[in-house]
């Protein structure tokens, strides 16, 4: 069911079209209903229409409704953007950019970018760092599986015969005994290092360029030798940019310890078919996957919905089903504050467009030429 604010907005727009009044410009939102509800009151000049998270709710709109659309906010790649003759703005709602080739030349593209320093360092990067720590804890202590095991045995007819000894609950490896390797030491890697070292772990890291000596605290060593890190680390956190393709491939996966844990924070560096083969062949090897190679929740090259067809999936279902792959929904940073600020930025650009004022975070203007060119 459409939220009340959106129903009222759509009713007003339809009434204006039927009654001959000058209709408000129409914005289609391809995100959650909650996001559309946050956006609507902040863009009073516009008629905001919620199209669902994948655009499906607007698939059967009439040609009149399509012709009235001047802006699309959110996962715009889920729509065939070439069908909008009056499209003036495509606005991303998260850090996943819109496919510029799919956007008509007569439309401007604005990116989501609300992380000015020091907020970026103190909020978003720190959140990723804490998420990595949570992934390490989940893998090390396996509280969910321990709880399931206990419930399954403690309330059985032969309880507690099949329950493990209480001493087995403390027989796990400790976080303080781990060597955590950060592949691609930067702002996010620094946040991971601070937290893991504070928990007693030994932290090592690599980066492309020096200086490497002395290693910055709290690192045990820093170098450009990725192979050494892969061989030495119990946990490998991949924090290189998403634009670095194929760094975690068949060769690098073979260097990992037999019981290593892999935690990538972006999809680009990972050869997912190679990772799936490695996880299938090596049950002790593990991965926490909060990123996907394709689909609406993918990385920089994400595609979803028509005309992309089969790519409209979050990930390979076979890798998600592996017992040594912890598959997560890609939401480690997207909290209420994130979406609230995103909606405020999108609304600001919509109002600026309606008033003929400049928009923020312009990636490409309405001529198809990047403003940076």
Give yes or no for residue 236 having a pLDDT over 90: yes
Between residues 337 and 254, the one the model is more confident about: 254
Question: Do residues 329 and 288 make contact, with C-beta atoms less than 8 angstroms apart?
Answer: no
Q: How far apart are CA 187 and CA 86, in angstroms?
A: 41
Question: Do residues 110 and 91 make contact, with C-beta atoms less than 8 angstroms apart?
Answer: yes
Between residues 85 and 76, the one the model is more confident about: 85
| pLDDT at site 213 | 94
Give the residue carrying structure tokens 């017992």. 323
| pLDDT at site 314 | 55
Summarised one tens digit per residue, pLDDT across range 238-273 is: 999 887 888 999 999 999 999 999 999 888 899 999
Instruction: Report angle CA 60, 63, 64 to the nearest 5 degrees.
Output: 115
Q: What is the mean pLDDT of residues 34-47?
A: 96
Give yes or no for residue 369 having a pLDDT over 80: no
Average pLDDT, the chain: 84
CA dist list (Å): 323 to 282, 284, 287, 294, 326: 11, 10, 10, 21, 8
User: Domain segments of the chain: what residues?
Assistant: 4-116+337-364, 119-327
Q: Structurally, what CATH architecture does the domain formed by 119-327 represent?
A: 3-Layer(aba) Sandwich (3.40)
Q: Structurally, what CATH architecture does the domain formed by 4-116+337-364 represent?
A: 3-Layer(aba) Sandwich (3.40)
Of residues 254, 341, 327, the one with CA closest to residue 295: 327
| pLDDT at site 62 | 94
pTM of this structure = 0.72
Summarised one tens digit per residue, pLDDT across range 172-196 is: 789 999 999 999 999 899 999 999 9
Question: Do residues 338 and 32 make contact, with C-beta atoms less than 8 angstroms apart?
Answer: no
| pLDDT at site 278 | 97
Q: How far apart are CA 204 and CA 225, in angstroms?
A: 11
Summarised one tens digit per residue, pLDDT across range 80-128 is: 899 999 999 999 988 766 777 889 999 999 987 655 555 555 557 788 8
């Amino acid at each position: 069911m459409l939220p009340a604010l959106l129903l009222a907005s759509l009713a007003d727009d339809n009434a204006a079209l039927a009654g001959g009044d000058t209709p408000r410009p129409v914005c289609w939102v391809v995100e959650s209903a909650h996001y559309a509800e946050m956006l609507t009151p902040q863009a009073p000049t516009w008629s905001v229409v919620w199209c669902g998270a994948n655009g499906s709710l607007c698939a059967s709109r009439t040609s009149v409704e399509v012709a009235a659309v001047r802006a699309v906010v959110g996962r715009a790649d889920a729509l065939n953007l070439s069908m909008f003759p009056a499209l003036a703005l495509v606005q991303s709602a998260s850090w996943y950019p819109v496919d510029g080739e799919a956007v008509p030349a007569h439309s401007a593209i604005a990116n989501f970018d609300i992380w000015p320093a020091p907020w970026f360092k103190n909020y978003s990067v720190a959140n990723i760092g804490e998420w990595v720590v949570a992934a390490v804890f989940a893998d090390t202590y396996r509280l969910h599986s321990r709880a399931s095991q206990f419930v399954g045995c403690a309330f059985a007819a032969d309880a507690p015969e099949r329950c493990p000894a209480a001493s087995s609950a403390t027989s796990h490896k400790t976080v303080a005994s781990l060597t955590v390797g950060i592949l691609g030491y930067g702002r996010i890697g620094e946040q991971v290092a601070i937290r893991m070292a504070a928990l007693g772990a030994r932290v090592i890291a690599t980066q492309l360029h020096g200086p490497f000596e002395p290693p910055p605290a709290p690192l045990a060593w820093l170098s450009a030798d990725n192979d050494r890190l892969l061989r030495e680390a119990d946990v490998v956190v991949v924090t290189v940019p998403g634009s670095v393709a194929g760094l975690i491939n068949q060769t690098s996966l073979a260097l990992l310890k037999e019981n290593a844990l892999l935690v990538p924070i972006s999809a680009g560096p990972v050869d997912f078919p190679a990772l799936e083969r490695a996880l299938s062949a090596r049950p002790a090897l593990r991965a926490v996957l909060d990123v996907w190679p394709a689909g609406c929740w993918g990385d920089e090259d994400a595609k979803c919905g028509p005309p992309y067809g089969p790519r409209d999936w979050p990930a390979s279902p076979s890798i998600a089903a592996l017992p040594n792959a912890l598959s997560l929904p890609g939401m480690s940073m997207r909290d209420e504050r994130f979406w609230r600020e995103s909606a405020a930025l999108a609304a600001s650009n919509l109002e600026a467009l309606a008033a003929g004022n400049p928009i923020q975070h312009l990636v490409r203007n309405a001529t198809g030429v990047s403003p940076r060119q």
